Amino acid sequence: MKQTKINNFDVIDTYRVIKTIANGGFGIVYFVRELGSNQPLVMKIERENVHKSSIEIEYSVLKQIQGSLYFPRLFGTGKLNELTFIVMEMLGPSLSRIKQYLPGNRFSLSTSLRLGIEMVCMLREFHARGFVHRDIKPANFLIRPESPSPICLIDFGLSKRFIDPLTGMPHQKQLSMSCFIGTARYASINAHKHIDLGPRDDMICWFNTMAEMILGELPWSNLNDKNEILKMKEEIEPKNRCKNLPIQFISIYDEIVKTEYDEFPDYDMILLFLSDALRTTTNKDSEPFDWEKLNEHLLEELFPPSVTRRISVGDTLDTLQPRNFSQVDRTQGVKVEQFQLLGDPEEGPVKTNKFCGCCNIE
């Protein structure tokens, strides 16, 4: 298949490409504007020669989780020279990017715990809809400014259906997976050992995410080899995993690891522990989030001008629904006016290291 190259200002279907946002192993992400309305959106286009299209998987999952403030609004899909693309709402920066702007390269305890509560709520809803994410990490939580939920979960290309829609029961556990799935820094030991992943494993990733947000790094943050990371994870005792974290995290970790593959973690209990940690350690449940305290110059660097729409508490789910899919699922008539891939002229595309079709290390 001939490599498709895209220039800034090309028109793809009814969207004009403005610039490249990210360039990863599965696809390329563009900032686009819808023709006519000029609405800022994000377009993700799959790469050639990917064994199984993560974009198509992501589109399938996104269709089934619409109507929630926890997940991106989906605007459409189509084909570009046989390559699938999806169009979603424009969101703010990721937690991993914001972290780089903070003192000590870490979030405050107040912001971390409040975001942790939001993350558990969105994972509970995602799991309740029958899916596991399999790549929970700071880079996959984006800011949604002035929304009732300050963050949004993204990137569902590695997600899988956990609940059989016909029986309402978990799918039978696979004996093994063909390769490592997820991001090694945050992944569960099960992921390293190619054991089938369930809601418990998403929560292990969440726990590691929380530890990094609060402490600034994980014990294995300076390692890149997956086997070395696994060895360290297996050697660290649970009490040392929770060292320098609020004492409630010992109970949270115990609550997660006792969960079996075909069970849901006790989200309510975990939320109680987080709320107790917030009350006893900071008692600052209404102060501005860390990114809201940054100076104006840093805020301009972090937040694109297009991320300005206010989503008020009064917005209903109806007003946040995407347009009718029958009107936007297009597979023909895609127009590409020019051909050459360009990144951000100042920074270039953001790259991620992919070691195989379903794994990565940051």
Check if the beta carbon of residue 48 is closer than 8 Å to that of residue 3: yes
Closest to 283 measured CA to CA, from 60, 126, 110, 162 = 110
Cα–Cα dist 118/156, whole Å: 18
- Residues near 240 by Cβ (< 8 Å), separated by ≥ 6? none
Query: Active-site residue among 10, 13, 135, 196?
Result: 135
- What pLDDT does residue 350 have? 32
Of 216, 265, 257, give the one whose Cα is nearest residue 106.
216
Write the secondary structure of 92-159 as one string of H (helix), E (strand) and C (coil).
Answer: CCEHHHHHCCCHHHCCCHHHHHHHHHHHHHHHHHHHHCCEECCCCCHHHEEECCCCCCCEEECCCCCC
CATH topology of domain 11-90+314-361: Phosphorylase Kinase; domain 1 (3.30.200)
CB 73 within 8 Å of CB 309: no
What Rg do the C-alpha atoms of the chain give, in angstroms? 20
Strands (E), 167-209: 182-183
First to last CA, the chain: 30
Q: What pLDDT shows up at residue 51?
A: 58
pLDDT the model gives residue 53 = 73
Q: Which residues pair with 12 in a beta bridge?
A: 15
The whole-angstrom separation of Cα 311 and Cα 150 is 10
Residue 329 a catalytic site member: no
Q: Where are the domains of the chain?
A: 11-90+314-361, 95-296
Question: Which pLDDT belongs to residue 324?
Answer: 31
> Tell me, what's the pLDDT at 193?
95
Spans of the chain below 50 pLDDT: 1-2, 308-362
Residues 6+ apart with CB under 8 A from 281: 109, 113, 246
Which residues have a Cβ under 8 Å from the Cβ of 18 and sit 6 or more positions away? Answer: 8, 9, 30, 31, 32, 33
Q: What is the CATH number of domain 95-296?
A: 1.10.510.10
Dig out the tokens for 156 from the structure. 């569902």
Give pLDDT, residue 211: 98
CATH topology identical between 11-90+314-361 and 95-296: no
Residue 158's nearest CA partner among 178, 142, 136 is 136
